[in-house]
Structure 1
Amino acid sequence: MSDNFGRYFVNAIVAGLIGRIATVVKDEIEKAKQEISKKLQRIGIGVGLVIGAGIFAFFMVGVFIAAAILGLSEVWPAWLAALTVGGALLLIVLLLAGIGSALIKKNKDLTPHEQIDNIKSTVGMSSSQ
């Protein structure tokens, strides 16, 4: 009889501990969800502000381009000033597009070769197999 009592007692303690641990884990997961939700909301606000800044920057660039044309038109005819600023902008566009295109071509293969080789060497497979 006492042998069964000890077994039931240990089982009850273990079941109670497991239940308590499960409750704590569920509570912590719920708190983590709430924390992530708050952070995502703040990230969304931040993204909106950055987009707003980008819109203002777009118009600001237009104003600076107009100012450059007006400034150059003091020493050159207006058509030549506009053509010069347009040519400078064309050079910038071509330079950025060329660099961007080269980066895309260089990195278009998305296979993580280094990590695959690391995994193979960790597992014991050589890259020659």
Structure 2
Amino acid sequence: MNVEPEPPVGTTVAPPGPRPAPPAAEASVGELLTRLSTQTSRLVRDEMQLAQNEIRDSVRHAVKGAGLISAAGVVAFLAAATLVAAAVAGLSEVLPVWAAALIIGAVLLAGAGIAAMLSRREAERATPAVPQTKASVRRDFNELKGATHARHVTR
């Protein structure tokens, strides 16, 4: 039977499993390249997730704006139909009928104007670019550039 000897009292034994990575100064080139690959993959994944979230928010605002502009179009159509009815009523009746239709048409046009203004505001909030992702990638790039520059200066 093969039994490992007990370590001396007061010493610690590393648990079984993967060893923690040595500091960069002691790491081999292979370990450094493995770290670089892992960290780069994680960084790219994180940046892609951030871009995806920003685009999702932008699309949500664009869709909301498109829905509001569609509502404005429907309301404007109804207003035009009412104004046409007012013109017809004005030709065939006395003042009160077409005046009432004209007032309703004006109210519908005011509603269309409000919907159009809301739609415009939502459309302006839909940014095509991904500003947070761009800023994050720029910071990452500058940090890598600074680390590379510092490494060349210290040599």
Q: TM-score, normalised by structure 2?
A: 0.39
Asked which structure has the greater RCO (Cα within 8 Å, sep 6+), the reply is 2
Q: Which of these two proteins has the greater Rg computed from alpha carbons? A: 2
Which structure features the higher share of helix residues?
Answer: 1
